[in-house]
Amino acid sequence: MLAEVFHELLMNRDDYLKPLRLFLRELVRMLRADMPLVTFSRSLMRDRSKDQVFRDFAPKERMLVAIADLVCLCILLGISPAVREAASLLARYDSMLFLKTHLKSTDPTQKLI
């Protein structure tokens, strides 16, 4: 149902992609795990070529790009905060490790063998 509303807004002459992205982000933030992102994404990607309204819609490429954008956003919103934090810690640790090894190898007081 929500995906159908998104489709209708995307078929308007006005560009509603940015407000829809913001709305989806806030909706997922408020509902947390209760938002079925996979079902929503599948509904967005449903074949609408048989719908008469969609057949008459001219800028299909803009809608395709908007749907791809929303599906990518759903993928990113599906990442849990714990995974996000773990990735951040891992990236921070990797950069610290890189700096330590880089500083050791460029130390001018160290003798070359």
- Identify the band that residue 103 occupies on the pLDDT scale cut at 50, 70 and 90: low
Q: Is the pTM of this model over 0.75?
A: no
The residue-averaged pLDDT of 60-66 equals 86
The residue-averaged pLDDT of 84-103 equals 75
Determine phi and psi for 48, rounding to 5 degrees: -115, 15
Strand ranges in 1-113 using DSSP code E only, listed in sequence order:
none
Cα torsion 92, 94, 97, 99: sign: negative
Long-range Cβ pairs for the range 68-73 (8 Å, 24+): 69/17, 69/21, 70/6, 70/17, 70/20, 70/21, 70/24, 70/41, 70/44, 71/41, 71/44, 71/45, 73/21, 73/24, 73/25
The residue-averaged pLDDT of 33-58 equals 83
Q: What is the pLDDT of residue 71?
A: 96
Judge whether 43 and 3 are in contact, CB under 8 Å: yes
The residue-averaged pLDDT of 88-93 equals 80
The residue-averaged pLDDT of 43-71 equals 84
